[in-house]
A and B are shown apart, each in its own frame.
Chain A
């Protein structure tokens, strides 16, 4: 049981390049999320998918697109990377139950845009 797995762990991009961050969870969770964390800051929600087939914008969606490929996988795409998107990206997943909606996070993807 690996939990939430993100790839790649590290990536350097040039301004204007595109890339996709991949995320998969093996906990049979319905909901998945993408967060970013800038140095010294808290996490900010980019997009989330409440259930398979749905996606919604979070706090900072501009410059990103997402795809909920199936129940396990949720990808984040940067179409034209900008230096302001240099950050650590965290994927997460959760399953809402009668006792709450506990969210579990991956280990992060470090992205640098030069």
Chain B
């Protein structure tokens, strides 16, 4: 699975959009981009994933560049409960791939 690079930490004002970048310049065509978050040692929580197209769900939006070398997770209206470590992961979608490799992620602090 491709290596991903994220900033170590970010701040965001409560109520504003949080934009979390991720670089995955070596991603291959059959690797999905997944986003998870972990709030204070709870189990990692799935947020969203995508392959080529931008995706949106009730939690967030995922914008993937046309060349797929980077992506941005957008939390449209950040709340204090969104303070967490956010992980961007590239995961091969084919048979035999099961290991979700978590890096250090981005620690997002939502400021009142």
Q: Interface on chain A toward B: helix, strand, loop, or mixed SS?
A: strand
Q: Is A102 in the interface zone, CB < 8 Å from B?
A: yes
Q: Interface on chain B toward A: helix, strand, loop, or mixed SS?
A: loop
Q: Is B104 in the interface zone, CB < 8 Å from A?
A: yes
Contact B102 A42 (CB under 8 A): yes
A16-34 CB mask vs B (1 if < 8 Å, else 0) is: 0000000000000001010
Contact A88 B41 (CB under 8 A): yes
CB distance from A35 to the nearest CB of B (A): 8
Interface size in chain A (residues, C-beta < 8 A):
27
CA distance in complex: A37, B41 (Å): 9
Which A residues contact B (CB, under 8 angstroms)?
Answer: 4, 31, 33, 37, 42-43, 45, 48, 50, 56, 58-59, 88, 90, 92, 94, 96, 99-108
Which B residues contact A (CB, under 8 angstroms)?
Answer: 32, 34, 41-46, 49, 51, 87, 91, 93, 95-105
Given A33-B100, A101-B97, 13 further pairs, Cβ under 8 A: A31-B98, A37-B41, A42-B87, A43-B100, A48-B98, A48-B99, A58-B99, A92-B43, A92-B100, A101-B91, A102-B46, A105-B45, A106-B43
What are 11 sample pairs from A and B whose C-beta atoms fall under 8 A apart?
Answer: A31-B98, A37-B41, A43-B44, A43-B102, A45-B99, A50-B96, A88-B41, A99-B51, A100-B91, A105-B43, A105-B45
